[in-house]
Structure 1
Amino acid sequence: MLVTAINPGKSPGSAAQAAEWLQGALADIGVRADVNLGDGVALVSVWVNLLVWTDGNAYSWWSGKVRSGSGRRIYAFNPATDPVTAARRVAARREELRQDPERSSDLHDLADEPHGRSEVRG
């Protein structure tokens, strides 16, 4: 799916559409993601500790940084009219998380399995 062909600078009609555009833009660069819909919001699950929220106007996700002093998380934002740039930024954050040995020890194997399919082994 070439997202740039279907939405050059256009506003998505809903949070669901914005999430689908981001999912498509991520797929175009080889990153799998799941979309989950809520009431007026949609979530794009990309990796452990990487969940993108959208209300149809903007995308937001945790940047991995925290404010000194308060310890509050700092979030990254991107307009929903540009899912291609958002996808590049989200993919860069995903790569940071993948490189973190404390968080990704067993996740590389899971990333190779299709989303939505899990198997319980006993």
Structure 2
Amino acid sequence: MNAAFVAGGISPLETAESLRAELDRWKISADVHGGYGLALVSVWVGLVVWCDGDRFWWRTGWDDRRERFTYAWHPAIEPARAARRVAFRYRDLRDAPPPSEPIA
């Protein structure tokens, strides 16, 4: 069996492309990059979705108490529902004020 494929026979790149297509329905542009058994869907600054062919996962915030990032995940067999959740995160990031002032 090819290492690029998971047990179900769908590669991370194929599942990432399915997410990208669903994000396009939300009018959200994204790029897909694959390699080393993973695929990345680059959506926005601070919003990258990883895919291993089985699930999607992305950062949702920071846990001050544990001093680490928090993540959300969704099964890769539901790219439309995952795209909806990613679209909500995208909206939150777009609506948030910039973390610092631009340098003139």
Amino acid at match of 1:20: E
Structure 1 gap segments, 5+ residues each? 1-10, 107-122
Q: SS state of the match for residue 101, structure 1?
A: coil
CA distance in 1, matches of 2:82, 2:68: 22
Q: What's the CA shift string for 1:43-64, capped at 9, x where partnerless?
A: 0000000000000000000012
Partner of 2:15: 18
Q: In the superposition, relative to structure 1, how do residues 84 and 12 fare at CA in structure 2: closer, same or farther (>3 Å)?
A: farther
Q: TM-score, normalised by structure 1?
A: 0.72
Cα distance in structure 1, aligned partners of 2:23 and 2:101: 23
Distance 1:55 1:44 in 2: 11
Q: TM-score, normalised by structure 2?
A: 0.84
Is the 8 Å Cα contact of residues 52 and 61 (structure 1) preserved in structure 2? Answer: yes
> What SS does the corresponding residue of 1:102 show, helix, strand or coil?
coil
1:46 to 43, 48, 60: 43
Q: Extract structure 1 runs of 4+ deviating beyond 4 A.
A: 103-106
Q: Is contact 1:23-1:34 (8 Å) kept? A: yes
Measured at CA, do residues 96 and 105 of structure 1 come closer, stay the same or move farther in structure 2, by a change above 3 Å? Answer: farther
Question: What value does the CA root-mean-square deviation take over the aligned residues?
Answer: 1.9
SS of aligned partner of 2:27:
coil
The separation in 2 between residues aligned to 1:59 and 1:86, in whole angstroms, is 8
* 1:58 and 2:68 aligned: no
Contact 1:25 1:83 in 2 (8 A): yes
Counterpart amino acid of 2:27? Answer: G
- One-letter amino acid of the structure 2 residue matched with residue 40 of structure 1: G
Do the aligned partners of 1:33 and 1:45 also contact (CA within 8 Å) in 2?
Answer: yes
Q: How many residues align?
A: 95
Structure showing the higher strand proportion among its residues = 2
Higher helix share: 1
| Mapped contact 1:97–1:103 kept (Cα < 8 A) | no
